[in-house]
Amino acid sequence: MNTDKLELYISEAEIQEKITEYAQKLNTIYQGKTLHCIGIMNGALFFMSDLLRNLNTFIVMDTISVSSYLDGKSTDEIVFNKHITKTITGQDVLLIEDIIDTGKTLDVVVEELKKLKPASLRIVCLADKPDCHPKPRFEYDYLFALKNEFVVGYGFDYNDKYRQLKGIYIYKGE
């Protein structure tokens, strides 16, 4: 793997610190409740995994898979590759996403989940690029605000490369 084209943006330690802080917030909000956690795959896998290991409440896990990128560029077409398999009607739901870039993918997923009538729907993203999208039609939490840079690592990828890096890096191209 060629890492010469990568510049460290957010360290593993910084990521883990923010995840621990956010998990403490969720532990307070959902104390004594069951939380249905839905990760948007594949990007949210590492974030979801680390976040859920820090929760002290009961959880039910599920995943949804959507795609809208090809060769590092948005296609403007949202494709559902896998829908959730568990019932969320009347349940407290946490939707876990890796990044809000254009916001289009998350917008479509949120609308789909709302149709299933959860009791509550909280959205958390590891990262947000606020300069890259209009204000979403829903509220969400995020751990890091990023500049308009293409990033890889900790779930973010370029054509499925670099996801497993422990930090987040600015990708300088191949």
Catalytic residues: 101
Which of the 8 DSSP states describes residue 10?
A: E
The pLDDT, as a whole number, for residue 135 is 80
Contact yes or no for 93/121 (Cβ under 8 A): yes
Q: How far apart (Å, rounded) are the C-alpha atoms in residues 109 and 116?
A: 11
Q: Name every residue whose Cβ is closer than 8 Å to that of residue 1 and which is 6 or more positions away in sequence.
A: 161, 162
The pLDDT, as a whole number, for residue 114 is 97
Which of the 8 DSSP states describes residue 32?
A: T
User: What is the per-residue DSSP string for 104-135?
Assistant: HHHHHHHHHHHTT--SEEEEEEEEE-GGGSPP
Q: Please report the sign of the dihedral spanned by the C-alpha atoms of residue 55, residue 59, residue 65, residue 66.
A: negative
The pLDDT, as a whole number, for residue 132 is 87
pTM for this model (two decimals): 0.92
Q: Name every residue whose Cβ is closer than 8 Å to that of residue 148 and which is 6 or more positions away in sequence.
A: 129, 131, 132
Q: Please report the sign of the dihedral spanned by the C-alpha atoms of residue 29, residue 32, residue 33, residue 36.
A: positive
Beginning with the edge strand found earlier in the chain, give each strand of the sheet holding 151-152 in spatial order. 6-10, 168-171, 151-152
Each residue's pLDDT expressed in tens, for the chain with a length of 174 residues: 777 899 999 999 999 999 999 999 999 999 999 999 999 999 999 999 999 999 999 999 999 999 876 555 566 788 899 999 999 999 999 999 999 988 888 999 999 999 999 999 999 999 999 888 888 778 999 999 999 999 999 999 998 899 999 999 999 976
| Joined tokens for residue 68 | 């809208």
